[in-house]
Amino acid sequence: MGFARACSVALVGVEGVVVEVQADLEPGVAAFTLVGLPDKSLVESRDRVRAAVVNSGAEWPQKKLTVGLSPASVPKGGSGFDLAVAVAVLAAAERIDPRQIADLVLIGELGLDGRVRPVRGVLPAVLAAAEAGYDQVVVPEQTAGEASLVPGVSVLGVRTLRQLIAVLADEPVPDEEPVAPGRPDSALAGLLVPGAGVGTGLSAAPDTGGGPDLADVAGQRTARTGLEVAAAGGHHLLLTGPPGAGKTMLAERLPAVLPPLTRRESLEVTAVHSVAGILPPGEPLVRTAPYCAPHHSATMQALVGGGHGLPRPGAVSLAHRGVLFLDEAPEFSGKALDALRQPLESGHVVVARSGGVVRLPARFLMMLAANPCPCGRHTLHGSGCECPPSVVRRYQARMSGPLLDRVDLRIEVEPVNRSELMGGGRGESTAEVAARVREARARAAARLQGTGWTVNSEVPGHELRTRWTVAPGALAVAERDVERGLLTARGLDRVLRVAWTLADLRGRDRPEAMDVALALELRTGIARGAATLTGAAR
């Protein structure tokens, strides 16, 4: 009787659970039994592993074989267990020393010819292994760079099962013929979900050097100010205006205004993208804020996450630490929009399905764009809008009050006039605005050091009212709005957060009456006398 064990990782959302793969050989009729709550793709590993072992020059044991995946209560799926199953079986058959693999974490799919194929989710799997105390992992060669992002873990990238057997048995490692330059590598198909980037509207953040620039946007000083404030404090933004005014242009330039991701944020974003199958091969670490712009026909599951079995990340998770842009927001399903309310507050989304409950990260900056009416000409003088008032009201009511109450900045975008469009004058560039945003975030981070919060939008309202106070009398106008019912308690907290962001942009120690008044104007659209939108962040 032979027994051996190795380790692999089961992913539940973007979190991993270390699974012990146990192989037991007993005398009897040759059979292969796999237990431990495997799904269909994992059950099929019996045939893949057997063929891969034989085609790698090793002998398949002709005995009663039982492979157990422990803990048995955790659902396990995918083909990433193939490598661990094959090694555990070979160790039980004494082809390799069982002691060599007892504390080894192996992740990878096996082809019938013995090649080790990459799988999605390598980074979160290795992170889970490191947190569990394992310091040695074996992954496919194509994902070795991704696994190496985890500090303190020794990573071995292998191309074939034959190579791994030689390494574990302390034998000469055979040379495997690499893929010829210029030829497609079919193994990379395991890393990408077909059409995933297009289907979610996901793209890399524009580079300030050669991508879209804010200087290309004609006019729109108010909207540009709102964009800068949103980026500096992480505030959600709504732009309302006629078609062709530049709402989408502004949204496409917002990611480049955001600061580069920190190391921790990069690992979080990369883990989500790896699980979702949208991490580009050869670029293991995402360093810039992601930008996700789903079509308005997207379902609630596409936005917050879902799918058969265990839920998969949705648009809110793909936009984690970046921008979620909802163009033509009133055209989205009302249920889909209201499903965003919980992740907007908590920074994560909990999705419960029959296959299990998954907690996915979802701390994003939401930007909404909407037309004033179905035809888009309601606010234009002499434009010939024929939408009845009842139709306009119903169209604008598609975004519910509770959702809009979570949007800090609501700005009406005016059409660009001829002088702004043809004058040739260019506004500030993305680099100039991004520099001010970085300075404002640095001030906020210094003030919030040791609290667990990094930007003003994350600070609870109670802390803003008691721990960090504004200038005396600065809240008088906002308090009157609360008494008159024009501002909710949540709205007051959000006005305070925007006021602190305005103070950070101006280099002040605390908000003054002008900052609070301008924050109210950016939220309600009602002029507040001394507050001026032009040059607000200067």
Give me the percent of the chain exceeding a pLDDT of 90: 62
**What pLDDT, in 10s, does the model give residues 54-69?**
999 999 999 999 999 9
List the structure tokens of 108. Answer: 């990878």
pLDDT for the residue 535: 46
Task: List CB contacts of 343: < 8 A, sequence separation 6 or more.
Answer: 304, 316, 349, 362, 364
**What pLDDT, in 10s, does the model give residues 173-221?**
888 776 656 566 666 666 665 544 433 445 544 444 457 888 888 888 8
Contact (CB, 8 A) for 226 and 214: no
Q: How confident is the model at residue 312 (pLDDT cuts 50, 70, 90)?
A: confident
**What pLDDT, in 10s, does the model give residues 104-121?**
999 999 999 999 999 999
The DSSP string of 432-480 is HHHHHHHHHHHHHHHHTTTTT--SGGGS-HHHHHHTS--STTTTHHHHH
pLDDT for the residue 204: 45
Residue with tokens 């939408």: 387
pLDDT for the residue 198: 37
79 closest CA partner among 9, 3, 24:
9
pLDDT for the residue 193: 57
**Residue 491 CB coordination number (10 Å):** 21
Answer yes or no: is pLDDT of 246 > 50: yes
- CA geometry: angle 231, 234, 236, nearest 5 deg: 95
Q: Extract long-range pairs of 525-534: CB within 8 Å, 24+ residues apart.
A: 525/410, 525/411, 525/412, 528/477, 533/221, 533/222, 533/225, 534/221, 534/222, 534/225
Give me the percent of the chain exceeding a pLDDT of 70: 89
**What pLDDT, in 10s, does the model give residues 338-352?**
999 999 999 999 888
State pTM to two decimals.
0.88
Residue 214 DSSP class:
G
b/e map 259-283, b = 16+ CB within 10 Å: bebeeebbbbbbbbbbbbbbbeeee
**What pLDDT, in 10s, does the model give residues 8-42?**
999 988 899 999 999 999 999 999 999 999 988 89
The larger pLDDT score, comparing residue 337 to residue 220, is at 337
**What pLDDT, in 10s, does the model give residues 425-450?**
677 899 999 999 999 999 999 999 99
pLDDT for the residue 537: 47
For 120-139, what is the HEC assignment?
CCHHHHHHHHHHCCCCEEEE
- The CA-atom distances, in angstroms, between 535 and each of 234, 495, 502 are 19, 19, 11
Rg of the chain, C-alpha, whole Å: 28
Answer yes or no: is pLDDT of 531 > 60: no
pLDDT for the residue 205: 45
pLDDT for the residue 1: 58
240 closest CA partner among 486, 495, 415, 419:
415
Reading phi first (left if > 0) and then psi (alpha if -120 to 50, else beta), residue 18 is in beta
Among 153-157, 359-363, 414-418, 456-460, where is mean pLDDT lowest? 414-418
**What pLDDT, in 10s, does the model give residues 125-148?**
999 999 999 999 999 999 999 999
